[in-house]
Chains A and B, each alone.
Chain A
Amino acid sequence: MMKGVYNWIDERLDITPMWRDVADHEVPEHVNPAHHFSAFVYCFGGLTFFITLIQILSGMFLTMYYVPDIINAYKSVDYLQHKVAFGVIVRGMHHWGASLVIVMMFLHTLRVFFTGSYKAPREMNWVVGMLIFFVMLGLGFTGYLLPWDNKAYFATQVGIKIAASVPYLGGYIQTFLQGGDIVGAQTLTRFFALHVFFLPAVLLALLGGHFYMIRKQGIAGPL
C-alpha cells in the first residue's frame, strides 16, 4: 500500500533523486563508530540537531497553553505543568533540552576544534557555527524569562544589566530589550516574540547554511 502510494507519486514527480541527493551517502569509515568506537565524537553535531528538533516541537506544543502576559504567564506554566496530561513531560523536554542542546553544541564544537575540521575550505562553516552558538544562547536567555517567576525575573535583570554594560550603546540596548524603563509587561511580550518567532527563524536559516556547506564540502578527512 505505502509502496503503491510512493510509486504513484514517484511516477509523476520523480522524487527518488531528491531524497537520494539529501540522504543516501556512504558514511566514511573514520566517522563511523561501528569501525572505531572513538568516532562517536562525530555524532555530537547530529545529536545537537536532534535536540534542537525536540526544542522546536515541544516549544510549539507549549504555546498551546502558555500566555506571555505578566498576570497570567506564571499561572499558565503552572497549569500546563500540573493540570494538563503529560504537561510535566512536555515542559520537561523543553526545560532539560534547553540545557542539553548547549552541552551537545559545546561537545560538537570541541570535536570540530580538535579534529581541525575548521581549516580551509571549511572556515565559513565555523563562522556559521559560531553564529548558531550565539542564537542558541539568545534562545536560552529569552526562554528563561517566560515562566515569569523570581528566578526568571532576576536572571533577566542580571542578563540585561550585562548587555547594558556595553560602552556607549549599552543604555539603548537595555531599553530595546526591556521595551521600556523596567523589566515588565513589555519585556515579557518582547522576549516571547524573540524566543518563539525571530530567533527560531534565524536559527533555521543558519542551520540550512550549515548543512548545505557540509553537503557541498563533505565531512573533513581523518586525522
Chain B
Amino acid sequence: MSENTSHSHSERKPGAKREMSRRQFLAYTLGGTTGFLAAGVIVPMVRFAVDPVLQPKSASDWVKVVEESKITAEPKSFKFQVHQVDGWYESDPELEAWIAKDSSGKIFALNPTCKHLGCTVNWNNNPSYKDQYFCPCHGAHYTKEGKNLAVAPAPLDEYDVKIENGFVYLGELHANSIVK
C-alpha cells in the first residue's frame, strides 16, 4: 500500500505543481494560527489607542457674546462660554475673541491663538508693535485684520459672526477670510 501511495505521489506530470511538504504545511498552519492569535491580541489594543483619531469632529453652536453697540473700530477682547466635552470631563470654559469693526463697519471676530505654535496673542501689548496683535512666545505679530507679519505662517483664525436682535453671536472657527 505504501508503495502504491508513494507511487501515485511521485508520478507527477512534468510542469505540474509540486505538492506541499509536511514541514511546509505545518509551518503555514502554525504560522497562520500564531498570526491570527497575535492579531486577536494586538488589534483591540491598537484600535483602543487610535479611537480619538476616528471620532467625528463635533460642530459648534452659535454663542451669544456681546451687544452690537459695544463693538468699536479698535479690537476689544470678549469672553464667552462654550460647553466642552473632554472625554469624561465636561466643563464650560471661557473662550476669548477679539471683536472689531472693519473700515466699512462690518463686525469681525478673531481667535487669539497664535498661528505659529499656539500661544495666546494680545492687542497692543508690545510698544514696538503699535496697533498690532503680538505673541509673547516667539514674537509673532499680526495686523488688526489678523494678517501675519512675522514668524507665524498664517493669519489669525476667524469666527463666524451673526448679528441678531442687537447681539453679536459667534459660531464656527475657521481660517481667516478677511486677509488672504
Contacts and interface: CB of A to CB of B under 8 A. Distances in A.
Interface of A: 70, 154, 157-158, 160-162, 172, 175-176, 178-182, 184-186
Interface of B: 49-50, 52-53, 55, 57-58, 84, 86-89, 116-119, 137
Contacts, number: 44
B119 A184 contact: no
A176 B57 CA distance: 13
Nearest to B57: A181
B86 A182 contact: yes
Given A154-B119, A161-B118, A182 B52 contact: no
29 contacts: A70-B89, A154-B118, A154-B119, A154-B137, A157-B117, A157-B119, A158-B117, A158-B119, A158-B137, A161-B117, A161-B118, A162-B117, A172-B53, A175-B52, A176-B49, A179-B87, A180-B52, A180-B55, A180-B87, A181-B57, A181-B58, A182-B84, A182-B86, A184-B86, A185-B86, A185-B88, A186-B52, A186-B86, A186-B87
A179 B84 contact: no
A185 B84 CA distance: 12
A175 to B, nearest CB: 5
Contact of B86 (A157, A162, A180): A180
A179 B52 contact: yes
A180 B56 CA distance: 10
